[in-house]
Amino acid sequence: LECEENALTSLPKFLSPDLKYLLCGNNKLTLLPMLPLMLKTLTCYHNKLRKIPTLPEMLTLLDCGNNIDLISLPRLPDSITRINCKSCKNLTELPNLPRNLKDLFCSDNQLTALPTLPPNLTELICNNNKLTTLPALPKSLRVLSCSGNNIIQIDSDLSLSALRVSCSENPK
């Protein structure tokens, strides 16, 4: 179901149980209905969501960025490989991250700490938060961008040879 950029204020209460993709970004949604169990992709960026319903166990992509009223994320299923929750100005913490997560984009929030990073994470973009430290960085990491925080030290075990790093403006 693709219904992006329509100024929608609501979606149908019941979505098809076979729905695999829900692309409802750039609307005026304040609530999402119960999500179908077969859903693989949820893009609900740039709405007015305060919360996200329980996520299906098969979900692989969550893009909920630019929901400035969003205060928390639900439990994240292990199937998720990509999360974008940037610019959710009231988001102060993240739940435990899925073990299969590869890409995490969580810039421009109020995060003071990150949870343990999964072992296969390849990209971490966490600019402009209130971070003072980073958790242990996995060896799989290839891109790290943590500019605009209050970080004073980065893991010395980090192999920088295969990593693109941007950590300017620390401490902020």
Alpha-carbon radius of gyration of the chain? 16
The pLDDT value recorded for residue 165 is 84
**From the CB of residue 13, how many other CB atoms can be counted at a distance below 10 Å?**
8
Question: What is the C-alpha separation between 58 and 36, in angstroms, rounded?
Answer: 10
The pLDDT value recorded for residue 153 is 80
Q: Average pLDDT for consecutive 10-residue bins of the chain (172 residues)?
A: 95 95 98 97 98 97 97 97 97 97 98 96 97 93 95 70 79 74
Answer whether 0.85 is exceeded by the pTM. Answer: yes
